[in-house]
Amino acid sequence: MKINLGPAGSPAKSTLEGIKETKRLGLQAMEVEFVRGVKMSNPLAKECGAEAKKLGIELSVHAPYYINLASEDPKKQKESVQRILDSCERGHYLGAREIVFHPAYFGKGDKEKVFQATKNHILDMMETIHKRGWNITLSPETTGKHSALGSLDETIMLVKETGCSFNLDFAHLYARNYGKINYKEILDKLQILKSKHIQCHFSNISYTSKGESNHEVMNSHPPFEPLAKEILERKLNITIISESPVTWRDSLKMKGIFERLGYRFD
């Protein structure tokens, strides 16, 4: 069992300094955020990756938000694919494990057609990743709005039909289910994938009838301690990235809960 905790985005002014600060805080992971665009150069990615490796910080990447692999506009589909591949290239040089992205929106499209379009793009991108020798894996994320592809079942199906990885966002699933979450049921469902490592996000969240509204600092919705107990009971290898408004602080809250339950971080 190995538990890694860390912030989404740098807890300092730059990615490089954020990696050092993550280590200083006693955390183990950091998600590099390209959500507003992929603006990091390959040389800088290499430098950051070398620092993370030296300090033992596990990196992942979040691709830009402006992605819709099933857009009715073929140009937007092509641009979405390119944004993910740009993230993959930087992720490779960062030494990142996972490239996380929100896959698609349903819009006025048929849900099955949206799923198939997304699946086909993922398969094509996986082929490109293999040809270019990038050592990363695509991780579509469970999404928080009903208008987006990314329920737990849809995400599991994408993994089964493509062989990609996944990012489990507990806050999004909580919002999708209007304030209800069953961690045991979720983790039981994931057993079919036989994953050796689970990449996930956690924060508190507000929601409306359409799903997620805003990420919030950790309080009780959803509660974290029951999830921590399930993780420890199952002896999972898991990385939990905080997406709260104060990511590093809530990562430390999670660390405190795990330690209170008896887990000791290296």
Q: How confident is the model at residue 220 (pLDDT cuts 50, 70, 90)?
A: confident
3-state secondary structure the chain: CCEEEEEECCCCCCHHHHHHHHHHCCCCEEEEECCCCCCCCHHHHHHHHHHHHHHCCEEEEECCCCCCCCCCCHHHHHHHHHHHHHHHHHHHHHCCCEEEECCEECCCCCHHHHHHHHHHHHHHHHHHHHHHCCCCEEEEECCCECCEECCHHHHHHHHHHHCCCCEEEHHHHHHHCCCCCCHHHHHHHHHHHCCCCEEEEECEEEEECCEEEEEECCCCCCCCHHHHHHHHHHCCCEEEEECCCCHHHHHHHHHHHHHHCCCCCC
Any domain includes 266: no
Any domain includes 75: yes
Q: What is the CATH number of the domain that holds 205?
A: 3.20.20.150
Q: How confident is the model at residue 266 (pLDDT cuts 50, 70, 90)?
A: confident
Any domain includes 265: no
Any domain includes 95: yes
pLDDT digits (tens, 9 = 90+) for 77-95: 999 999 999 999 999 999 9
Any domain includes 25: yes
Number of domains, the chain: 1
pLDDT digits (tens, 9 = 90+) for 149-207: 999 999 999 999 999 999 999 999 999 999 999 999 999 999 999 999 999 999 999 99
Domain containing residue 90: 3-260
Q: Is the pLDDT of residue 33 over 90?
A: yes
| Global confidence as pTM | 0.97
Give the per-residue pLDDT at 183.
98
Any domain includes 36: yes
Give the per-residue pLDDT at 83.
98
pLDDT digits (tens, 9 = 90+) for 90-135: 999 999 989 999 999 998 879 999 999 999 999 999 999 999 999 9
Q: How confident is the model at residue 73 (pLDDT cuts 50, 70, 90)?
A: very high
Q: Is the pLDDT of residue 257 over 90?
A: yes
